[in-house]
Amino acid sequence: MTATENPGLAWEAFGPDGFADRLAVVTGAAGGIGLEAARAFHAQGARVVMVDVNASLLSQAAAGLPGATAVPLDISDDDQVANAFAQINAEHGPIDHLVHAAAIITAKRFLEQDVAHWRRVLDINLVGSFSVVRAALGPMVDRGAGTIVVVASDAGFRGGGGLIADAPYAASKAGVLSLVKSVAREFAGTGVRINALVPGPTDTPLHSTVSSELKQRIAAGLPVGRMGRPDDMAAAILFLSSPAARFVYGSALDVDGGSMLR
């Protein structure tokens, strides 16, 4: 029996050297889910490249992970993305794992929104996701190996009401879910696995403007009795990136404390 035929061997990915010497690129890595994902890969022995638009915070975050590389990058600039990923491949070797967590979250009431607001959110969250996935995917397809995890949101299913997440944010994350499924369909059989992570309400720096009272109300409404933490999401990202998830393909994994029960 081969390793791929033995389900038990898949769990070796979670040993102390489960991702040893593999290259993981994480966007949005200056904080929140992206930073925790970078820490998780680093703890598992991976070589980590951390990407974020905030160069100062990114430098501080990377300093806490010996050997990690910081790459400041505006994902809404397609040329920047293409050049940065070409440089990463040239300097660090082929990318084994991509985690795309970079995004912005906005919370404007619908009648207060304008076209400029919509375009900004979609340019970063949806078009930026396209640019990042495309830049990583091509070389992975050429090699016939690699994993991609794109961080979406439960707002992509339920919509946004303006308190924590608004309509353009929800629309962008719905688009991200469709992007993942579209890529999965087109590139089936290439050896590259792509999936979406769907966090529920998660206490990250993106929610720094949310009052503690509202966070308490949100937590009380969840079956598990608390909001998610970035490390909850990082654990799921490691799973989706590991051989343990070898039969998980084109999926949207809810990690939401039961918020999507329906």
8-51 tens-digit pLDDT: 444 444 555 679 999 999 999 999 999 999 999 999 999 999 99
pLDDT for 10 equals 41
Q: The domain spanning residue 124 has which CATH number?
A: 3.40.50.720
Residue 62: half-sphere exposure toward Cβ, Cα within 13 Å:
23
Distance CA 145, CA 151 (A): 20
User: Are the CB atoms for 200 and 261 separated by under 8 Å?
Assistant: no
The residue annotated as part of the active site, out of 99, 169, 184, 259, is 169
* In a domain? residue 1: no
Could you confirm whether 169 is annotated as catalytic?
yes
* In a domain? residue 99: yes
pLDDT for 18 equals 77
* In a domain? residue 3: no
**Does pLDDT of 198 surpass 90?**
yes
pLDDT for 238 equals 96
Give residue 259's pLDDT band: very low, low, confident or very high (50, 70, 90): confident
* In a domain? residue 109: yes
Dihedral sign computed on CA atoms, order 55, 66, 50, 149: negative
* In a domain? residue 137: yes
Contacts made by residues 14-17, CB under 8 angstroms, sequence distance 24+: 14/44, 14/238, 14/242, 14/244, 16/44, 16/45, 17/44, 17/45
* In a domain? residue 139: yes
Q: CA nearest 51: which of 41, 68, 64?
A: 68
Centre a 10 Å sphere on the Cβ of residue 10 and count the other Cβ atoms it contains.
16
What angle (nearest 5°) sits at the alpha carbon of residue 239, between those of residues 200 and 144? 120
Amino acid 244 reads A
* In a domain? residue 72: yes
* Number of residues that this document lists for the chain: 262
Sheet of strand 146-151, all strands in order from the earlier edge strand to the far edge: 69-72, 47-52, 23-27, 97-100, 146-151, 192-199, 252-255
Q: Which domain holds residue 87?
A: 11-254
Centre a 10 Å sphere on the Cβ of residue 64 and count the other Cβ atoms it contains.
11
- 3-state SS class at 133: helix
pLDDT for 5 equals 44
Number of domains the chain is built from: 1
* In a domain? residue 259: no
